[in-house]
Amino acid sequence: MNLRKSFPFLLVFLMVGGYLIYAQEETKKSKKEETMSFTLLCPSFKNGEKIPVQFTCDGVDHSPVLEWKDPPPNTKSLALICDDPDAPVGVWVHWVIYNIPATLSRLPENVDKKQKVLSGELQGAVQGINSWNRLGYGGPCPPPGAPHRYFFKLYALDIPITKEGMDKKQLLGAMEGHVLAEAQLMGTYQRKR
């Protein structure tokens, strides 16, 4: 008799539990699709291609134009790290820039290497310290030999990060738990002399 009375409650409990599991899976799926749609591009080279000389120490060493599409709608700021995992001394950091306004969809060519807190169209963005212990962008400059890979990683964050003078490690610590999505672009460069 008790089993008959409790059966409808058990049925409702199972249905609600099944719905909650389904809703969680759909949320995970939509977050994954949102992350996958966030893209980073460069008009000067495609993913996996050679980085043009003008963006290296063999040229004028300008930072390249970078453009992105479809960051998550609740993005409050963006952060970019460019590094070389193939450097003989370990990962070499070429650029740290963060607190990029979420309203922007590109970084222009030749971002000013002398400004810690940027002005103009990049108002409020902050440049951090690279592995040369300098501010701003330092282009590819590998020793002669095999090509090196340069990863430009753009992070969509749910907070602004305004602390000045951070390096890659400090920035990654400040971003922990606040990354909504990541987009990546990789270019290569080789020096023969």
* Residue 90 burial by Cβ neighbours in a 10 Å radius (0-12, 13-18, 19+): exposed
CATH 3.90.280.10 correct for 38-189:
yes
Share of the chain above pLDDT 70, in %: 81
Tell me how far apart the terminal alpha carbons of the chain are, to the nearest angstrom.
Answer: 89
Q: What is the pLDDT of residue 2?
A: 60
Tell how strand 66-69 and strand 106-107 pair up.
antiparallel
**Sorting pLDDT into bands at 50, 70 and 90, what band is 35?**
very low
Segment 73-84, tens digit of pLDDT: 999 999 999 999
DSSP 120: G
Beta strands in the chain, from DSSP E residues, in sequence order: 39-41, 66-69, 77-84, 92-101, 106-107, 126-127, 148-157, 179-189
**Cβ atoms 138, 105 nearer than 8 A:** no
pTM over 0.85, yes/no: no
Count CB neighbours of 150 within 10 A: 25
Q: What is the pLDDT of residue 34?
A: 43
Share of the chain above pLDDT 90, in %: 79
Q: What is the pLDDT of residue 37?
A: 77
As a whole number, mean pLDDT of residues 123-142 equals 96
Q: What is the pLDDT of residue 11?
A: 52
Tell me how far apart the alpha carbons of residues 71 and 182 are, in angstroms, rounded to a whole number: 9
* pLDDT surpasses 60 at 54: yes
Segment 6-19, tens digit of pLDDT: 555 555 554 544 55
Segment 152-166, tens digit of pLDDT: 999 999 999 989 999
Q: What is the pLDDT of residue 22?
A: 52
